[in-house]
Structure 1
């Protein structure tokens, strides 16, 4: 028994079976691609009895519907991260990079502290006296990397 005989014997049910397999595959695998192919198979299964298509026409119809549903799906649900209006929400230390602060106590031995708003942060950088202005140039965990404001990068 060849493929054409199997398809002819199963009839339009093959499209509903394929739709079920693809929709179950969508549940098992991430990516939101199988859902559109499953919808195309379901639509093909519904259209075949209306238009009495042969297996070649069914495949062409499915291919066209699959392409259309994939394109519509990508247009309705674009991929990629959305730009946030609060990009530093959970990355407070990164928001401090580039800001200038005044040392409340000197940096000695490469380590010191600076007050930022109501919080005291540990800083690393070249030794500087209390009252010196420093620029935050990086972050290492909860420690800020600073350099004196008047030095070039």
Structure 2
């Protein structure tokens, strides 16, 4: 049934498949179906020119489609990898890392290497040498969400 429909539609079957894949990319974003859909559209365009030729059978069409899908996926991966643009706020989603160098007072003493400190309106878990509450400390590093501090 599908083969008969593809023969009846001719080159349009590739265009329909391509646009269905592009539509699926919109519904299920991930950028992967985009490249496969574009490959199907290119095979559809080639099919308009080569449909009546003896060499353009379904095996060649699927082979061209597979090669184009692979090539487009690799090119797309390279294009998307280059999108790591520098931000004017590089620490925007790295809240803890943005605190390195900040100073504050311990809200709770550091005992057995762990305590709490207040920076702005947030209480942070800190690691460092045993110190009393109220001691001024500087954040020197962040590891696994804990701030490593040293006395100021």
Give the TM-score taking structure 1 as reference length. 0.62
Question: Aligned to 1:87, what secondary structure does the other structure show?
Answer: coil
Q: In structure 2, what is the equivalent of residue 78 of structure 1? A: 81
In structure 2, distance between residues paired with 1:92 and 1:102? 16
1:130-145 paired onto structure 2 within 5 Å: 134-136=137-139
Change (3 A) 1:83 1:61: same
In structure 1, distance between residues paired with 2:103 and 2:59? 73
Aligned length: 135
Q: In structure 2, what is the equivalent of residue 40 of structure 1? A: 39
More strand, by proportion: 2
Gaps of 5+ in 2: 110-114
Question: Aligned to 1:48, what secondary structure does the other structure show?
Answer: helix
Q: In structure 1, what is the equivalent of residue 131 of structure 2? A: 126
Cα RMSD of the aligned pairs, angstroms, is 4.0
Indicate if the aligned counterparts of 1:128 and 1:148 stay in contact, CA closer than 8 A. no
Question: Aligned to 2:81, what secondary structure does the other structure show?
Answer: coil
Gaps of 5+ in 1: none
* Cα displacement (A) at 1:43: 0.7
Give the TM-score taking structure 2 as reference length. 0.62
Structure index of larger Rg:
1
Moved over 6 A (4+): 111-114, 119-125
In structure 2, distance between residues paired with 1:55 and 1:108? 72
In structure 2, distance between residues paired with 1:112 and 1:7? 68
